[in-house]
Amino acid sequence: MSSILTNNSAMVALQTMRSINKNMASVQSEISTGKSVASAKDNAAVWAISKVMESDVKGLKAISDSLSLGEATVAVAREAAETTTDLLNQMKAKIVAAQEDNVDRAKINADVTALKEQIGAVVGAAQFNGLNLVDGTTASAEVLASLDRSGSTVTPSTITVTGQNLSVGGYTAIAGFDATNTDGVAADGQDTFGFSLDANAGTDDSGQIEFDDPGYTAGDSVTLSIGDTQVTYQITQADIDATSTADVIAVGVKAAIEASGANVSVDYDTTNSGRLVITNEDTANGVTISGQFTNANSGGLGALSSIDVSTDTGAAAALGTVETLIDTAISAAAAFGSVEGRIETQAEFITNLTDSLKSGIGAMVDADMEEASARLQALQVQQQLGVQALSIANQAPQTLLSLFR
């Protein structure tokens, strides 16, 4: 049956044209964006997976930066340990030379002393971005190594870098402090001590520091900070040989404080050995006092301070000491080298993993441009044929006029 009200052929042609145009728009979107899944409406599941993976890629880039920072930090520490090893080997050569009787030990000892100072300078300067892994101040440091995903849970994992103590001295206690300032007496066993004194008119304007004798050695030093003034007293062999080492140190510290110009007065506590009473003389302002005791022999290379080749006995003892110190430095360099190699391997893995994730994301969402090109040409042909089919369908009612002639 033919009808002038309903043109089924035209409706079929229109449906075909709409389908072709829809497919054409999809292909053009793929070509312009380069993605077959550009939004969640294209394929919600694939889009969601790709976004999670893209988030992981961004996290891995941050991890790559962290590993680069960690590798540089460890490289500085390793270089310092290797340099220290070289300097100790040079020192060993000097010490071996000092074993002979017919040598100028004074000059050799001067060279050894210079090497000691250079080792201290190397260890002190071996920091990267403020972190020093060789001076004994850092027990360990964590380097972010990866992000471990389990479903929706992400857990960071780290590489632990153990600090090595190559310092020539460490910090132990002179004393602690009585925070109430009722007597200001320091308590043993703390790494630092400190207390605050009120203005002179106050009730807590004085405090006490006690110097016991934990086994001082020549070269140890006492450092006090009295407000903005720093006072240092270095312990000598004469102090060690004195009948009362604590009293002698107290005398030396008292003299150093008085010479510093700090606005405090210092007196002896006549009832207690080795104790000083410090009184704030500033009637308007309080003052904070803190201090630290540097033990010259407590660092990993602390035995350097005992090396003295100016005598036969000292030269003989120094040979065994320097061997031990070389072993310490070598062990430190080896430890840093091992962890640096691990960080380097992890950094390379993160780089490869990032590339693999990017490839995986591309496989899921990127458009196949060859296929898109072929589909575009086919759809263009279909579109042209669809237009012709619709034109033919629209001309069909015209044939009905011949029935009424």
| Phi, psi torsion values for 246, nearest 5 degrees | -60, -40
Provide mean pLDDT across the span 334-343.
95
pLDDT above 90 for 331: yes
Which pLDDT value is given to residue 173? 44
Instruction: Considering only residues 275 and 343, tell me which one the structure prediction assigns the higher pLDDT.
Output: 343
Q: What are residue 197's DSSP bridge partners? A: 287
Q: Mean pLDDT over all residues of the chain?
A: 83
pLDDT, tens digit, 9 for 90 and up, residues 255-284: 999 999 888 899 988 777 778 888 888 888
Tokens of 363: 């496989």
Which pLDDT value is given to residue 56? 86
Comparing 103-107, 236-240, 312-316, which segment has the lowest mean pLDDT? 236-240
Amino acid at 259: A
pLDDT, tens digit, 9 for 90 and up, residues 137-183: 788 899 999 888 887 788 888 999 999 989 876 554 444 333 334 44
pLDDT above 80 for 103: yes
Provide mean pLDDT across the span 100-119.
90
Provide mean pLDDT across the span 347-359.
91
pLDDT above 50 for 186: no
Comparing 112-126, 197-211, 256-270, which segment has the lowest mean pLDDT? 197-211
Which pLDDT value is given to residue 169? 65
Provide mean pLDDT across the span 16-43.
82
- pLDDT category at 16 given cuts 50, 70, 90 is confident
What is the reported pTM?
A: 0.61
Domains defined along the chain, listed by start: 49-168+303-357 (1.20.1330.10), 170-296 (no CATH)
Which pLDDT value is given to residue 188? 37
What is the C-alpha separation between 294 and 172, in angstroms, rounded?
Answer: 6
Nearest alpha-carbon partner for 28 in 350, 369, 396, 383: 369
Provide mean pLDDT across the span 53-66.
89
What residues contact 84, with CB distance under 8 A and at least 6 apart? 119, 122, 123, 134, 166, 301, 329, 332, 333
Provide mean pLDDT across the span 62-71.
92
